[in-house]
Amino acid sequence: LWLGAAGTVGGGAAGVVGGLLYGVVGASQSTSGPGAVSVALVLVCLTAVVAVLGGAGVGFGIAAASMAPGRLSPWSVLGGAIGGLLVGAVVKLLGLDAFNLLFGHAPGDITGAPEGALLGAAVGLGAWLSDKIAEARSVRRGVAVAGLCGALAGLLIPMLGGRMMGGSLQLVAQGFPDSRLRLDPFGALVGESGFGPVSQALTGALEGLLFGACLVGAMVLVRRLLTPSPLAASGT
């Protein structure tokens, strides 16, 4: 239970950081001060909510796959994949239904079950590897490995035709011409005329890095707090 809760908090933290990044870039295209602030706040809240849900699904999936308290197993990969798949499917369904209900049409093929499953599996792999590395007293290296696993998944998803949060936000902006959300500055950094495939892949990698590192980092911290040290266990 505590591992799943830690994953939820870690996912939320990643969402806040990612939301701030997208919010600052999106707000920079707004012409008015109050409008820019509102764009940033909306993006932070939106990404945080999605990341909390994703963190809960993946975190509790990894925790449920653990073979023993305080220790993770290779089944964490499957647990993370199932948790990510379920949350991705539910979030996509509710998101599309909400857009159809409020605006009469949905933005398109936003992120969903396949993306959630792939990212969840990658984070589950990172969690298991991090657990093994942490046993060798290299917690930072373990969290870095988890972040790398998430980054690779986030990079692959757009390359395989899927969408991470940035790609989904771009679909929303394209589906609603009056939207003030613009992610074109990301494309300008890599020589694209808009938020193209390269910028989507790079921002996807950044999203995966944040999600994997924050989620697994929170779980590692909780495991260290809940697992007694050898000296404490021996009473010395």
pLDDT per position as a tens digit, 178-227: 777 888 888 888 888 888 899 999 999 999 999 999 999 998 888 878 76
Assign 142 a pLDDT band (cuts: 50, 70, 90): confident
Query: How does 10-27 read in b/e, with b if 16+ C-beta sit within 10 Å?
Result: bbbbbbbbbbebbbebbb
Q: Whole-model pTM?
A: 0.88
Radius of gyration of the CA atoms of the chain, in A? 19
Residue 48: the pLDDT is 93
Assign 12 a pLDDT band (cuts: 50, 70, 90): very high
Residue 73: the pLDDT is 75
Q: Whole-angstrom Cα distance, residue 44 to residue 172?
A: 16
Q: For the chain, what are the domain ranges?
A: 2-225
- DSSP for 57-93 reads HHHHHHHHT-SBTTB--TTHHHHHHHHHHHHHHHHHH
Assign 158 a pLDDT band (cuts: 50, 70, 90): very high
Residue 223: the pLDDT is 81
Evaluate if residue 143 carries a pLDDT over 60: yes
Evaluate if residue 231 carries a pLDDT over 60: no
Share of the chain above pLDDT 70, in %: 88
- Say how far residue 108 (Cα) sits from the centre of its chain: 20
Per-residue pLDDT tens digits for 26-76 = 777 665 666 678 878 888 999 999 999 999 999 999 988 876 555 667 889
